[in-house]
Structure 1
Amino acid sequence: MSHFSYKNGALCAENVPLTEIARQFGSPTYVYSKAALVENFSAYANACRENQRDASTALVCYSVKSNSNIAVLDLLSKLGSGFDIVSGGELLRVIAAGGDPSKVIFSGVGKTHEEMKLALSHDILCFNVESTAELHRLNEVAGEMGKQAPVSLRVNPNVDAKTHPYISTGLKENKFGIAYDEALTAYRTAATLPHIRVAGIDCHIGSQLLDDAPLLEALDRLIELVDRLTQEGIVLHHIDIGGGIGITYDKDKPVAIGDYLGRLFAKIDKWRLHQYKGKPIQVMFEPGRSIVGNAGLLLTEVEYLKHGAAKNFAIVNAAMNDLMRPAMYEAWHGVQPVVQRVGEQKTYDIVGPVCESGDWLARERSLAIEQGDLLAIMSAGAYGMTMSSNYNTRGRAAEVMVDGDQVHLIRRRETPGELFALETLLP
């Protein structure tokens, strides 16, 4: 995380000390680096340009679920990003941020009637359909509106992403997508429906992949299916290979974006030339974590140090409701003191004040800290704020964006009164 570094003994976001951010905005607070976001998105955009001279043949669709703050969406939209959404609410966020609905793809296994109407009314780019039941509902909704719905079928290629089982999405036992063996039949059905326009094919096999081999294996399976569809006169206009490239949390060594896309485009170009008869076909990606994950951290303060016979605890003011990933996945996040302190290091579990034994952010970390010190929970830009909750009637954290030596509040902290403002007493 080169945009978070120590200067004069204090951890900074770009050019701003985190101590100053805590003074202005308190804690817990999510802190994002604009430069890191731009750099991470550009890794995809530049690789697409280098490998696909015509920019219209590739589209990066940022996965909104990873971090949906409208300031983040606005920034990425201005960089040319499309968006991958999984709810009607996310579509409204994209629109509020100035994003272009015609560059939006709508994924997810449980789209409602109202969500379909909303997306059709904004003329989104494509629906990633995940079941034949959804396909028929979408056909009915589009018919009610006098429209044709552009669709890709999300095909489950049964490829093992070799990642955490909770974030693996491409195996037979996962709820996502249409089974590979059933996909051809589903496409034939789609081609007969009057209010469906078959546009492409989609897959997404999982998240936090460090090796691109499973992704390229999934692409091979998609290409086989596209060839069979072409033989039947069903010609597709895009392939969506999904997202999933991981980031460095600890000692992880994810594949470089440019290397992965270079291999992927080489495979597609060879196929397009020989099997697809040179027809133009757009390639889409759905990255999320690899754009925003290492562009953010969670700033928190040590409330108490509790020394016991079996463990030492650093009790901080951030909790599992602020950062769910450790409690949900036993996910590893680096922990750094905001101000480097000279002194004896002790091993601490970093825990929050929520009334659950699962409320921990990090375990067994060697730190020289005192009560009142600030800590940075690193690599928290993805699936931090979007998965947060109000458990224990705790207001969600503030969010700020650092741009050089400027700090912008992009979401203020919630107050307790706001949390029960929608509730009413019995008469």
Structure 2
Amino acid sequence: DIIRARYRALDTAMDALPHRICYAVKANSTLAILRLLRDLGAGADIVSAGELARVLAAGFPADRIVFSGVGKSAAELTAAVRADLGHVNVESREELELLARIAEREQRRVSIGLRVNPDVTTETHPYISTGKSGIKFGLPIDQVMPAALFVAAHPLLDLGAIAMHLGSQITSVAPYRVGTERLLALLQRLIQSGIRPGAIDVGGGLGIRYADETPLEPARLADVLVPLLAPTGLTVYLEPGRYLVGSAGVLLTSVLYRKHSGGKDFVIVDAGMNDLVRPSHYQAYHEIVELEERGRAAAQVDVVGPVCETGDFLALDRTLPGLEPGDGLAVLGAGAYGFVMASNYNSRPRPAEIIVDEGKWWIARPRETVDALFNTERLVR
């Protein structure tokens, strides 16, 4: 229900523009989630051949798939060309020239998106800021026109879109305004050179509430984007991920032990950084609540996992009700960048994924078994 409501809110907010919402698969690539979004009418924004295989398996039409990513291999670009995707977002001149050679070898037309680095600063974690100069993402603005002219001159390439992606967990509309204005300035230069792309892609990055953030609501975004983009007459692409699925997921865990050491109280649980790496990797906040409230006195604790790393924690210095072994906890906001970033570190199996929808539930992916961790390995030749 959360995913449906989020999708419809964004779709309705952008209704004044011809638009397409392409779900950022990297946020959560579970097939059941992909199928739900496909049925809602979404396209897919992918960043690897593995994600391409997933979205095709989930039934997304090829022409509704956008292939982004700064490091696509020749094999991945070949797969994209053969699949006849909606467009391939290129992020360097070298990638563009490689894609042209592949198109010539395969004798297939390719729709190109030029992903621009608009040099826009966003107030988010530096690891997920992708629209600022001096980082690996996108074509610098001064390289866009030469790349567009290369596409226009090539007999098998079409300029399907100019695109940007500013980052993730953005809660202010200002970066979208600045980035879109810079894309529009580039668009004007392209049109003056006789080049008119079919779409303009403003990316994703809409943030959600984890703690006390004020999320950027779709209506506020539309208030800025619609007046800017409507005069172009172009189809507008948006690529939300976290916004659609982040608040829809929880991580369930159980308390194993309590421990006092060095003046601190620890609650040791059976989930760790291998299950949800965001707290450790991004110093991200996730609200943690009891599955059953027992009215115990609160205390300040660190909630830590079983992994052999000091950095294995879900919360630090968090005030929580008195917890005892066996208590169940829910870590909220785990629907995005949760399972997709999980690992088998310490040879720990990944958890099951359960879908709950309209009063029903089912196992979308069973809990991994220990045997499955090494059943493809060999001891000797």
TM-score (norm 1): 0.87
Q: 2:330 matched to 1:376?
A: yes
1:48 alignment partner, one of 2, 6, 14: 14
Report the equivalent of 1:26.
none
Report the equivalent of 2:54.
93
8 Å contact kept, 1:139–1:194: no
Q: 2:165 matched to 1:204?
A: yes
Q: 2:82 matched to 1:128?
A: no
Rounded to whole Å, the distance in 1 between the matches of 2:134 and 2:171 is 22
Deviation track 1:159-212 (CA, whole Å, cap 9, x = no partner) reads 101211111011111100000122112211222223211111000011111101
Rounded to whole Å, the distance in 1 between the matches of 2:45 and 2:359 is 31
1:395 alignment partner, one of 342, 346, 349: 349
Rounded to whole Å, the distance in 2 between the matches of 1:310 and 1:243 is 43
Q: 2:372 matched to 1:406?
A: no
Which is further off, 128-137 or 186-195?
A: 186-195
Number of positions where the alignment pairs a residue of Structure 1 with one of Structure 2:
380
Rounded to whole Å, the distance in 1 between the matches of 2:22 and 2:114 is 17
Deviation track 1:133-168 (CA, whole Å, cap 9, x = no partner) reads 000110111111110110011000101012111110
Deviation track 1:209-253 (CA, whole Å, cap 9, x = no partner) reads 110110111000000000001000011110000001100000000
Deviation track 1:373-416 (CA, whole Å, cap 9, x = no partner) reads 00011101000000110001111111111113211110111101
Q: 2:288 matched to 1:335?
A: yes
Letter in 1 for 2:376: L
Q: CA deviation at 1:48?
A: 2.2
Q: 2:319 matched to 1:366?
A: yes
Greater RCO (Cα-Cα under 8 Å, separation 6 or more): 1
Rounded to whole Å, the distance in 2 between the matches of 1:348 and 1:393 is 27
Letter in 1 for 2:263: A
Deviation track 1:60-104 (CA, whole Å, cap 9, x = no partner) reads 000000000000000000000000000011011001111111100
Q: 2:5 matched to 1:39?
A: yes
Letter in 2 for 1:47: A
Q: CA deviation at 1:114?
A: 1.4
8 Å contact kept, 2:117–2:164: yes
Report the equivalent of 2:306.
353
Q: CA deviation at 1:320?
A: 0.2
8 Å contact kept, 2:344–2:350: yes
Which is further off, 398-407 or 319-328?
A: 398-407
Query: Structure 2 regions of 5+ residues with no counterpart?
Result: none
Report the equivalent of 2:261.
308
- SS state at 1:90 partner: helix
Rounded to whole Å, the distance in 2 between the matches of 1:420 and 1:345 is 42
8 Å contact kept, 2:173–2:224: no
Q: 2:114 matched to 1:160?
A: no
**Residues 52-67 of structure 1 aligned to structure 2 (within 5 Å):** 52=17, 57-67=18-28
Q: 2:32 matched to 1:71?
A: yes
- SS state at 1:302 partner: strand
- SS state at 2:251 partner: strand
Rounded to whole Å, the distance in 2 between the matches of 1:421 and 1:294 is 35
- SS state at 2:96 partner: helix
- SS state at 2:14 partner: helix
Q: CA deviation at 1:265?
A: 1.0
Letter in 2 for 1:266: P
- SS state at 2:250 partner: strand
Rounded to whole Å, the distance in 2 between the matches of 1:380 and 1:261 is 27
Rounded to whole Å, the distance in 2 between the matches of 1:173 and 1:360 is 31
Q: CA deviation at 1:309?
A: 4.0
Rounded to whole Å, the distance in 2 between the matches of 1:292 and 1:370 is 31
Letter in 2 for 1:191: A
8 Å contact kept, 2:173–2:220: no
Deviation track 1:283-317 (CA, whole Å, cap 9, x = no partner) reads 00000000000111100000111123421111111
8 Å contact kept, 2:171–2:206: yes
Q: 2:112 matched to 1:151?
A: yes
- SS state at 1:158 partner: coil
Rounded to whole Å, the distance in 2 between the matches of 1:195 and 1:423 is 43
Report the equivalent of 2:237.
284
4+ aligned runs moved over 6 Å, structure 1: none
* Aligned-residue CA RMSD (Å): 1.0
Q: 2:282 matched to 1:325?
A: no
Query: Structure 1 regions of 5+ residues with no counterpart?
Result: 1-34, 273-279
